Structure 1
Amino acid sequence: MRKDIFSESERLANIAKYLRRTFELWGYKEIFLPTIEEFNRELRKGTKFSYNNEFYIIKPDLTSQILVNLKAPKKLKLYYISEVLDGGVKGEWQAGVEYIGGDITKMAVEVLLTVITSLEALGIEDFYIDVGSLGMWKNAIKGIEEFETEVFKALTSRNFEIIEKLPINKKKKEELWRLFNFRGKSCEYEKLNKIIEIIDDERIFIDFGTIRPLPYYSDIIFEVYSSKLGKPLGGGGEYIFKGTSAFGFAFDLSALSKLAGGKLEKSRKKIGGDLQKAYRLARRLVKLGVPVEVEE
């Protein structure tokens, strides 16, 4: 059965309004990207098609699309709200931010706080954030680099048995097992410790079992979860663009819509009576930022 597109749109628009407000309070500027891009191997996801003997991609991954269009690295704080396709015709609505060209600790802290305050603005308090490190895993597999694909497959699927079956010594397997299962507030990686310490929120944890499949991430990665939903609310991480550090994330809007509830809209001032007087009052209230509804 086809979804009620109007009800779905109303829910997403209501969530997007609160996210836009929070993103802009943190200093991010909205970017509007084209629906269709010429084919580029750097673009991720999206749906490919041909037109006039040329190849194009519809609605690719937004981070990769921003980077393809950014000709030279510079300091930018951007946000977007858009649909993303993944090879088919049904998409996923996302809202996210990209912070490019800053100090990595500052960017990581600010982006993670943007995540936290965005969820709080939506009335979502029951969530937690797991932060991991690709760098720690790259270091852990030194000496067994030929099994990198299998190790990261095990991480992505949360299945340590894949590593257990590898022809590597017991000591290395025990080291990988400890990393695979580590979850806490501090670790041996000072870069992560500093980020967690500055944010100072009981809902954020270091979890080295956390991994994200997109290939552009360089080290710090994270995912956002809620005990009320069986899928991530979103995630993101650190990446390098032409030698410049950057940090970003994206929310899954359909996941947020299941948790945000239906009473985000501020109560509206209802105005009745003579239409000319009613609309004169409504105009004044709107200029003051008061939501209004002129009754028939």
Structure 2
Amino acid sequence: MASFDRPRGTRDFDPEEMADRNALITRLREAFETFGYREIGTPTFEHLDLFTAKSGPEIVEQLYAFEDKSERELTLRPELTAPVMRFYNEELRARPKPLRLFYFGNCFRYERPQSGRYREFWQFGAELVGAPGPAGDAEIIALAEECVQAAGAATELHVGHIGILDRLIEAVDTDEDTHSELYRLVDKGGEELTERLDEVDAEPVLAEAIEDLAVGANPTIALAGDEDELRERFGELLAEVRGFSDEAPHLDKRLREAFDEATAEAIEAALDELATTLGHLAGHGVDEVHVDLGVARGLDYYTGVVFEVEAPELGAQSQVAGGGRYQLAETLGGQPTDTTGFGLGFDRLLLAADVETEEAPARAHVVPIAGTLDEATSVAADLRAAGIPTTVDLRDRSIGKNLDYVDRLGVPKAILLGPDELEQGVATVKDMASGEQTEVALDELVGELSSD
């Protein structure tokens, strides 16, 4: 006889694991809903060109792509942002703005499975559509932070602005491929970045600033006090980067001279936007952030403020959520639309979550004795109707074996129902923790079990 294993990179979840997952799903849905976000759903598979339009043809190697019977090129979704924006362009764009959306679903990537990474994985996310500027950015960041905290995990919030590093690297006089390489090296850090900047003869002031941003010191800034105080602290933080002035959001003379006027003004506008976002975050009750001007996530995708939320207890792979402001609606055939959003790795977050669920499948188990199965089933139905999870023995086991079964599952109450009990209109209720047995009138069972 053939035997079958689950496909590589996938998982099965037993009842206890599903209970923990569902408990966390409930918490996260509640967090989104408290911010006024509404849940949507999209198909598990989409047209392949939806994702190549967003990420380029090279992404196909990472996808479960296939042709259907009509030779249409489709793929299992590798992420959820592109499907949501396709849905927005197709059906939601006429709705009042801003549009607050969240979603949850499984995604698929054909990658080499490794610890904590699977070919099928689950993702929560949110998109704030049609709310340009720092106020919308701050709301999304605060929501991501709230979601991670709702899971019971300690958080570390990193916030930056893609426009700053983007403009610095574009100012290096070299070709587009080298620019892309420098982005990757900034994300990686180390001597390799320094060596590459030397090879392309980057102006010293540019090289120094880029190297400082890649260090990843991520200094903390407390979000307390009035706007002037916050901007003063922000300026002091910027002064740690060579070429940046301590008078936020200005560049010092040496770095300003490395740019044309438009580029210098664009960097200062990005710094001002980031400072304003930090001020709005304080209004959301966020106490502190790690300002990271070297965050280099998806530079072709993001256009403004970017952020990551980490759960430090997870160690080196601590990031559980990340996002920022982007323009994607136009890329997918719609009108230019300001959008800020984030994705949350559900499986990673579950590892850091403080979730405790009851393992027992029911609160009561009815044991029919000597042919009373129909009556036992009726009693169980009454208890279920009152919201008390209840099971019934379906294997005609002895009382002793039923009690062993109940004990192993952790069900707190066993209800013994035989001909004698039925004649008296009672049931014998055994408390499995104490071993105490009491007779309870059948019409009082619901009240008795509800009070526990």
Query: TM-score band, normalised by the shorter chain?
Result: 0.7 to 0.9
Taking the aligned partners of 1:227 and 1:179, their CA distance within structure 2 comes to 21
Contact conserved, 1:221 with 1:236, CA < 8 A, in 2?
A: yes
Residue 156 of structure 2 is aligned to residue 128 of structure 1: yes
The 1:198/1:48 distance shift into structure 2, 3 A limit, reads same
Contact conserved, 2:325 with 2:341, CA < 8 A, in 1?
A: yes
Give 1:101 shift: 0.5
Q: Gapped runs of 5+ residues in structure 2? A: 112-117, 222-233, 239-248, 250-270, 331-335, 367-378, 389-410, 415-452
More strand by share: 1
Alignment-derived partner of residue 38 in structure 1: 47
**Superposed CA offset, 1:29-59 (max 9, x none):** 1111101112213255642112232211112
Alignment-derived partner of residue 262 in structure 1: 355
Equivalence map 1:78-157=2 (5 Å) = 78-88=101-111, 90-124=119-153, 126-144=154-172, 146=175, 147-157=178-188
1:213 match: secondary structure: coil
Query: What is the count of residue pairs matched by the alignment?
Result: 286
240-249 or 270-279: bigger deviation: 270-279
Residue 216 of structure 2 is aligned to residue 165 of structure 1: no
Equivalence map 1:134-283=2 (5 Å) = 134-144=162-172, 146=175, 147-159=178-190, 161-166=192-197, 167=200, 168-181=202-215, 183-184=218-219, 185=221, 186=234, 187=238, 188=249, 189-200=271-282, 201-213=286-298, 215-229=300-314, 230-231=316-317, 232-240=319-327, 241-242=329-330, 243-263=336-356, 275=380, 278-279=383-384, 281-282=386-387
1:129 match: secondary structure: strand
**Superposed CA offset, 1:227-280 (max 9, x none):** 211221121111023321111111111111111133267x99957996466445
Q: Pick from 68, 82, 92 the counterpart of residue 64 of structure 1.
A: 82
**Superposed CA offset, 1:199-237 (max 9, x none):** 233342210122213732112111111221122112111
**Superposed CA offset, 1:143-190 (max 9, x none):** 325231122111232345224323223222112122323633324311
**Larger Rg over CA atoms:** 2
Taking the aligned partners of 1:96 and 1:115, their CA distance within structure 2 comes to 9
TM-align CA RMSD? 3.0
Instruction: Name the TM-score, length of structure 2 as normaliser.
Output: 0.57
Taking the aligned partners of 2:41 and 2:170, their CA distance within structure 1 comes to 42
126-135 or 193-202: bigger deviation: 193-202
Taking the aligned partners of 1:108 and 1:270, their CA distance within structure 2 comes to 45
Q: Pick from 3, 8, 13 the counterpart of residue 5 of structure 1.
A: 13
More helix by share: 2
Instruction: Name the TM-score, length of structure 1 as normaliser.
Output: 0.84
Taking the aligned partners of 1:24 and 1:264, their CA distance within structure 2 comes to 22
Percent identity between matched residues is 21
Give 1:103 shift: 2.9
Q: Pick from 26, 35, 38 the counterpart of residue 29 of structure 1.
A: 38
